[in-house]
């Protein structure tokens, strides 16, 4: 019985130059940090855990321009113009093209407000200098990563974690949905872990791709915090002795069951749950450049199948593509109408909603279609797929189902952010994600179709 009868068991991987670096981007506690409409506070009173920026660079050779992956413990961009200005300045400083950079936010809801337009708010005087600090930290992190880059192997493996739960809870009495733990629906619990090792097989970095809103800490919280990501990173980094980069997955309808609290221990508990799941996934991985191959049978009390470790050479293929997805827009009030509603409003909660709606309208313009970018990177036989909006988990589930022979990291809040992408069946329902988004029904399905087509084209072209 030959070994070619059965496929080998191996992890998706990439071999090339990989650099790893990390910078502390903790803002001053007194910076404007009101992220919840229900909050009675505008600024924090202290720091729960440090806010970090982690950078990875990927190259086939030192002469090649890198792919730059950055993850920051930050919430979301309040204004698309601010994000475009920040990213444009960063691209210029790094001397790379737009398709080579993915700047990802963890989506914590306990961080500083990312909008210089709020400089007139309490603590707003710190926002401008914080943006400058953020830019300088990102540039320095990329420089450090490139300087320290060495021949490495990035190896991926899927695991699971039960932290994420469905948060679309039906309110049958009022024929609507509310945002909170729904025990009647299952959630995507897929965890994807990337392990970076050098030529001595020492771990030099890890990547954690998981979909779950960091909304543990809410309107009662008075501390700047990375939410559960902070404790997760502490668990992983204390064991691996290497930086850990977190990528927020397609979490439009996913969040912890226990959330909306001011108790930082709950955030830490949630983070430890994810951290231990990451460590379990790492422990289940084969060594770098090793696969399991069927080697034959042995007669014992039963006929036993014997699988043995064999060596293989990971792919060094690198490719970056930036595509566009033309989303149709829902009928929306004009920017002038929203601006007037904002000026007339005296309710603190409603005014916060109108401010967000105004930012969305500014981002998409007054047309009927919004062309939203999509980033697809190939790293060996794995793919990183990032986009700026808050897609439901159907996005990652469908991509991973169709690309089952590859590890697929899927990310929300990449290089910007405008609105939610719920599935078409939730439109015309009284649900937050549907009335928040400017995008028409079918947008999530179009995103899935476009991303799948881009990846399949990359695979076909080799």
Report how far apart, in Å, the C-alpha atoms of 33 and of each of 46, 70, 75, 418, 442 are.
Answer: 11, 22, 10, 19, 34
Give the separation between CA 284 and CA 279, rounded to whole angstroms: 9
In a domain, 340, yes or no: no
Q: Is 274 a domain residue?
A: yes
Could you tell me if 42 and 325 are in contact, meaning their C-beta atoms sit under 8 angstroms apart? no
Mean pLDDT of the chain: 94
Range of the domain at 173: 13-285+388-411
Sign of CA dihedral 343, 344, 348, 353: negative
pLDDT at residue 360 is higher than 50: yes
Phi, psi dihedral angles at 148 (to 5 degrees) = -95, 5
- pLDDT value, residue 358: 72
Q: Exposed e or buried b for every residue in 424-449, given b needs 16+ CB within 10 A?
A: eebbeeebebbebbbbbbebbebbbe
Does the pLDDT of residue 3 top 60, yes or no?
no
Lowest mean pLDDT among 92-96, 112-116, 180-184: 112-116
In a domain? residue 116: yes
Whether 2 has a pLDDT exceeding 70, the answer reads no
462 Cβ contact list (under 8 Å, min separation 6): none
Q: Is residue 279 part of a domain?
A: yes
Would you say residue 299 lies in a domain?
no
In a domain, 160, yes or no: yes
Helix, strand or coil, per DSSP, at residue 34: coil
Weakest-pLDDT range from 7-11, 14-18, 359-363: 359-363
The pLDDT score that the predictor gives to residue 342 is 73
CA distance 163 to 256: 6
CB burial string 60-98: b at 16+ within 10 A, e below: eeeeeebbbbbbbbbbbbbbbebbeebbeebbeebebee
- The kind and range of the H/E element at 304 are strand 303-311
Closest listed residue to residue 104, CA positions, set 76, 85, 81, 79: 76
203 belongs to a structural domain: yes
The domain total for the chain is 1
**pLDDT score of 71:** 98
Does the pLDDT of residue 130 top 80, yes or no?
yes
In contact, 103 and 70? CB cutoff 8 Å: yes
Encode pLDDT of 62-80 as tens digits. 999 999 999 999 999 998 8
In a domain, 357, yes or no: no
């Amino acid at each position: 019985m030959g070994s070619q009868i059965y496929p080998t068991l191996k992890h998706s991987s990439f071999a090339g130059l990989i650099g790893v670096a990390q910078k502390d981007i903790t803002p001053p506690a007194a910076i404007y940090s009101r992220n919840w409409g229900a909050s009675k506070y505008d600024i924090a009173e202290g720091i729960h855990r440090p806010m970090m920026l982690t950078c990875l660079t990927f190259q086939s050779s030192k002469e090649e321009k890198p792919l730059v992956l950055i993850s920051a413990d930050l919430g979301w961009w309040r204004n698309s113009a601010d994000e475009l200005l920040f990213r444009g300045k960063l691209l210029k400083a790094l001397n790379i093209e737009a398709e080579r950079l993915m700047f990802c936010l963890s989506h914590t809801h306990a961080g500083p407000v990312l909008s210089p337009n709020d400089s007139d708010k309490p603590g707003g005087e710190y926002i401008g200098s914080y943006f400058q600090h953020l830019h300088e930290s990102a540039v320095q992190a990329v420089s450090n990563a490139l300087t320290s880059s060495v021949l490495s192997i990035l190896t991926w493996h899927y695991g699971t974690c039960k932290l994420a739960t469905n948060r679309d809870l039906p309110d049958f009495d009022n024929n609507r949905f509310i945002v909170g733990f729904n025990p009647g629906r299952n959630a995507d619990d897929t965890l994807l872990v990337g392990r970076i090792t050098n030529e001595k097989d020492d771990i030099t970095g890890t990547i954690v791709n998981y979909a779950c809103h960091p909304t543990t800490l809410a309107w009662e919280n008075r501390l700047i915090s990375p939410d559960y990501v902070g404790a997760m990173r502490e668990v992983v980094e204390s064991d691996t002795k290497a930086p850990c980069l977190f990528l927020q997955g397609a979490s439009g309808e996913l969040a912890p069951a226990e959330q909306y609290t001011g108790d930082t221990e709950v955030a830490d508990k949630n983070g430890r749950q994810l951290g231990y799941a990451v460590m379990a996934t790492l422990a289940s991985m084969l060594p770098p450049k090793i696969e399991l191959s069927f080697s034959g049978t042995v007669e014992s009390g039963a006929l036993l199948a014997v699988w043995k470790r064999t060596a293989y050479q990971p792919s060094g293929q690198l490719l970056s593509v930036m595509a566009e997805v033309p989303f149709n827009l829902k009928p929306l009030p004009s920017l002038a109408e929203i601006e007037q509603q904002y000026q007339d409003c005296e309710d603190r909660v409603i005014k916060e909603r109108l401010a967000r709606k105004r930012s969305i309208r500014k981002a998409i313009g007054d047309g009927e279609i919004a062309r939203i970018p999509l980033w697809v990177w190939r790293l060996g036989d794995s793919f990183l797929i990032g986009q700026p909006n808050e897609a439901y988990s159907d996005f990652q589930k469908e991509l991973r189902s169709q690309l089952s022979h590859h590890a697929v990291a899927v990310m929300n809040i990449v290089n910007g952010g405008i609105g939610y992408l719920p599935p078409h069946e939730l439109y015309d329902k009284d649900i937050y994600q549907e009335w928040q988004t400017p995008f028409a029904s079918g947008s999530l399905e179009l995103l899935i179709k476009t991303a799948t087509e881009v990846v399949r084209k990359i695979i076909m072209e080799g």
